[in-house]
Every structure is written in C-alpha cells, then in structure tokens.
Amino acid sequence: MSPPPHGRTRRVDLVRLREKLPATVEDVLRQYERHLMLERDLSPHTVRAYVGDAVALLGHVAGNIPENAELRSIDLTNLRSWLAAQHTAGASRTTLARRAAASRTFTAWAHRAGHMASDPGPRLAAPRPHRTLPSVLREDQARDAMRAVSSGASQGDPVALRDQAVVELLYATGIRVAELCGLDLDDVDYSLRVIRVLGKGGRERSAPFGVPAERAVRRWVDEGRNALVAPDSPPALFLGARGGRLNQRAVRTLVHEVVAVVPDAPDIGPHGLRHSAATHLLEGGADLRTVQELLGHATLATTQLYTHVTVERLKAIHDRTHPRS
C-alpha cells in the first residue's frame, strides 16, 4: 500500500496538533478563521493554509502558552525558532517565505484583536523565495492542445463539449481554475465576448475571450449542458457528470490529459494555461498593465514574472538560431 501524499499527512498532523492546544488558544483560532472567511473573504483553500500555518506556529510555542496567558508570551524569538525548525525539517525557501508571511498575518490580526500585547511580525525576516519561471506552452503547442480537445467534441458528446469549452476558456481568458469553476450562466456576455469573474479577495473583473472560445461555450450551453442537468443543479456554467458544479480537481485532470497528447509540451495544469495566456499576450504586444488587469493581479510585481518568461524564450530562440550566438 502506497504512503499517503505529503500534503494529506501534514493536514492530519495539524488536526492532531490543534486538538492538543489550550481551549483559549483554540477559541482565538476560531476567531481568526472567521476573520479570514468573513472579513477578508479569502477562498476556503487560502483560509485552510493560513489557519494551518497558525496552528503549526502555536503548536511549536505551545509550551510557552499557559492556559490563562493566551498568546501574550509569543515574541520574535518564538517566530524565529519556528522558522528555524521548518528549515531544519527541509522546508524550501519558498515555503519558509510563505509561512513567515502567514505568521505575520496572524500576529498582526492577533495584536489588533487584543490577543497579543505587541506584534513581533514586522521584525521577522525570512529568505526571499527563488522565483522559478513557470512552464508555458509555445503558441503552436497551445494550438495543438485546442485542436486535440476539439476532436472529442466533434462527436457531440456532452462531456467532450464541456471539456472543449473549459480548455478554450481557460486559455482565452487566463482566469484561475477556481474562477472558472465559480462561473454561472449569467456571467457570460456573448455580445461583448467577456465573462464576469470573481477573483481573489472578492475583487470582480471582466475577462474578454475570442471567437473560438465563444463557439465552444455556446455549443456546450446549447447542445451539451442540458444532458448533465439534474433537478438540484446550480446555475453553474460548467457542470460535473452528476449535475453539480464542476470541481477544480476534474479541471486539473482534464488539462493534464489534453496537454499530454501534444508532442514535447511541458506537463502543465490550468495554471500553466494561465501562464501561457499571459506570456502569449506579452509576446503579441500587450502592455504589462493590461495583462495585470486581465489576470486580476493585485500588484504589478506579480505580472512582471511573465516578462522574464518572454525574455528567457527570446534568449533560447536566439541561442538556437543566431549564427554568432
């Protein structure tokens, strides 16, 4: 029997660790969880990640938290010790940077809420993560992927029609997989060829799409969707085989399978299609601010990663083709 995935093992460990925390600390965690969900309107996945890191931090310093002291004994030394333990356990620079950020978010909230006398978070330094360039499809590979997913839809099978619309829309708009799965029927404006997207932090934006995606989505809605509708189906644009809203795992599996048939293509999922869309927009002449708005990035720094992708691709082409490279 194969061992459980690392992520699942960590979740189980965190559940057990949380059960051992003092009742007063558990109450603070519940307040923090509500704050992340209701006030910051973060996704369930992000909430779990933030709360999990808070549990790990509190579990590390549990010996310094008496039942009647709540969190007031946590200081900068505790935060540094927790990160050092993560480093010793083999956490990457990227993971350390993320967990440091999560701990700063928690201590800032705990201080504002009156659970901590001071906030040691701003003084916590963490290693800068290595920014690895994302794998992207070349434009010809993207065309091959779209061609591959359309071949199944040519027979009119409802699931194949849905899959084609999913892949076409992901690549056309560069939206996140969670944003795609959250789309409802009335989020699509066919006359303007835009979709209304609810992004991170509850920020709403419009994402345009082209004629191929419009055709695929229209055909799915007109010819395929009714075959999957159940009595309790939501008004979701994309439905699963049992009539519920299409889930993110199914979309990830679909994209991996579609890209796998493209010769020499990197193994990417929905986020890889997002990276590819952004890269191809910039290579086609789109400016960085426009791409930032299309992708729903909160800061331009996130979007700037794609300029590095395009530069690296240009360098690779130059090295292959220039006689004096």
Please write the tens of the pLDDT for every residue from 83-131. Answer: 898 888 888 888 888 899 899 999 999 999 988 889 999 998 876 665 6
Return the pLDDT at 63. Answer: 59
**191: pLDDT strictly greater than 70:** yes
pLDDT of residue 125: 81
* 200 assigned to active site: yes
Residue 249 has pLDDT above 80, yes or no: yes
Same domain, 14 and 82: yes
Higher pLDDT, 128 or 143: 143
Is residue 47 within 8 Å of 36, Cβ to Cβ? yes
pLDDT at 107: 93
Q: How many domains does the chain have?
A: 2
Neighbours of 119 (CB within 10 A): 18
| Mean pLDDT along residues 286-304 | 70
pTM for this prediction:
0.64
The beta-carbon contacts of 125-129 under 8 Å, at least 24 apart in sequence, are 125/100, 126/83, 126/96, 126/97, 126/99, 126/100, 126/101, 127/93, 127/96, 127/97, 128/93, 128/97, 129/92, 129/93, 129/94, 129/96, 129/97, 129/98
Here the tokens at position 166 are 């999913």
End-to-end CA distance of the chain: 52
For the cut 60, the answer to whether the pLDDT of residue 160 exceeds it is yes
| Percent of the chain surpassing pLDDT 70 | 82
Q: Which of 62, 89, 123 is the last residue of a domain?
A: 123
Q: Which residue has the higher pLDDT, 153 or 130?
A: 153
* Residue-wise pLDDT tens digits, 17-42: 888 888 888 899 999 999 998 888 88
The whole-number average pLDDT for the span 275-287 is 82
Alpha helices in the chain (DSSP H): 6-20, 23-34, 44-60, 76-88, 93-112, 139-153, 158-173, 177-181, 211-219, 248-260, 270-283, 288-295, 300-303, 305-321
Paired residues of 206 in beta bridges: 196
Whether 185 and 119 share a structural domain: no
190 is catalytic: no
pLDDT at 8: 60
SS3 134: coil
State the average pLDDT over residues 170-196: 93
Q: Which of 40, 200, 245, 313 is catalytic?
A: 200
Which pLDDT value is given to residue 65?
A: 54
Q: Is residue 55 part of a domain?
A: yes
Which DSSP string do the residues of 208-235 spell out, in sequence order?
E--HHHHHHHHHIIIIIGGGT--TT--S
Catalytic residue among 60, 99, 104, 274: 274
Residue 224 pLDDT more than 90?
A: yes
What number is the average pLDDT over the span 63-79? 68
pLDDT at 70: 54
Q: For every residue of 66-88, which 3-state class applies, written as one string?
A: CCCCCCCCCCHHHHHHHHHHHHH
| Residue showing tokens 């001071």 | 118
- Mean pLDDT over residues 163-192, rounded? 94
Q: Is residue 301 part of a domain?
A: yes
Identify the domain containing residue 103 by its residue range.
6-123
Active site residue 45: no
Residue of higher predicted confidence among 153 and 134: 153
Q: What is the pLDDT of residue 278?
A: 85
Domain check: are 98 and 149 in the same one? no
Catalytic residue among 104, 176, 275, 280: 176
Q: Reply yes or no on whether 193 is catalytic.
A: no
CATH code for position 251: 1.10.443.10
pLDDT confidence bin for 187, thresholds 50/70/90: very high
pLDDT (0 to 100) of residue 85? 87
Note whether 86 and 147 are same-domain residues: no
Is 254 part of any domain?
A: yes
Specify if 131 maps to a domain. no
What is the average pLDDT across 255-274? Answer: 92
For residue 91, the model assigns a pLDDT of 84
Last residue of a domain, one of 123, 149, 165: 123
Q: Token pair for residue 118?
A: 């001071």
Tell whether 182 and 109 lie within a shared domain.
no
> Are residues 271 and 187 both part of a single domain?
yes
Mean pLDDT for the stretch of residues 300-306? 62
- Average confidence score pLDDT of the chain: 84
The reply to whether 132 falls in a domain is no
Which of the two residues, 11 and 116, has the higher pLDDT score? 116
- The answer to whether 177 and 271 are in contact (CB under 8 A) is yes
Is 176 a catalytic site residue?
Answer: yes
Domain boundary among 95, 123, 151: 123
Higher pLDDT, 213 or 204: 213
Please pick, among 72, 252, 256, 271, the residue that the annotation labels catalytic. 271
Known catalytic residue at 308: no
Highest mean pLDDT pick, 48-57, 92-101, 229-238: 229-238
